[in-house]
Amino acid sequence: MEHKIIDKSPMQIMGISIRTTNENAKAAQDLPPFWGRFFSEQIQAQIPYQKTGEVIGLYCEYESDHTKPYTVVAGCEVTVAGDAAEGMVVKHLPESKYAVFEISGPFPQTLMDAWQWIWQSDLKRTYTGDFELYQIGFDAEENTDIHIYIAVE
């Protein structure tokens, strides 16, 4: 799968979080209602100091690798980490090198296919934090452009 390698400055992500795992397809059960909550409760509108207004799905706090439990944060990059609303978290990503995949196609199947490829790839992942970037104007029916950032050595 085509990708480019970039260096990215540290980031702060604010949003809601859930702990899940890919074992026994638990993430496939947990994540749709989790993202449903993000949109139905208009979480993005409650996040102050948004840097760009783009939505981020952050995968962090890996217990080991993608086969063990990890934390998912649905939120936004922020310029100031303070003033998190009740029930929200702030996660800090270090400066890192990322393999960036730009995907587009039927949602969510194209996204799931990309993750399957990433999990089976020989990328030298660091598991310091990976994320999906949903650009402004993302629409699951029409504009399905998503960028996936995978932290690599």
* Bridge partners (DSSP) listed for residue 8: 96
For the stretch 9-65, pLDDT in tens is 999 999 999 999 999 999 999 999 999 999 999 999 999 999 999 999 999 999 999
**pLDDT mean over 63-74:** 96
Query: Residues 31, 19: contact at Cβ < 8 Å?
Result: no
- For a pLDDT cut of 70, what percent of the chain falls above it? 99
- Only one residue has tokens 């080991």, namely 64
Pairing mode, strands 130-134 and 89-93? unpaired
- 49 φψ region: left (φ > 0), alpha (ψ -120 to 50), beta (else): left
pLDDT category at 86 given cuts 50, 70, 90 is confident
pLDDT, mean over the chain: 95
Evaluate the CA torsion angle 153, 28, 47, 136 in order and state its sign: positive
Give dist(CA 10, CA 2) in Å, integer: 24
Residue 71: phi and psi, rounded to 5, are -105, 140
pLDDT number for residue 51? 95
* Number of folded domains that form the chain: 1
Q: What is the edge-to-edge ordering of all strands in the sheet holding 50-60?
A: 4-8, 96-103, 146-152, 130-134, 50-60, 70-78, 11-20, 89-93
- What CATH number is attached to the domain comprising 8? 3.20.80.10
Residue type, position 23, single letter:
E
**pLDDT mean over 78-93:** 88
Which residue range is the domain that position 131 belongs to? 4-152
Residue 82 scores a pLDDT above 90: no
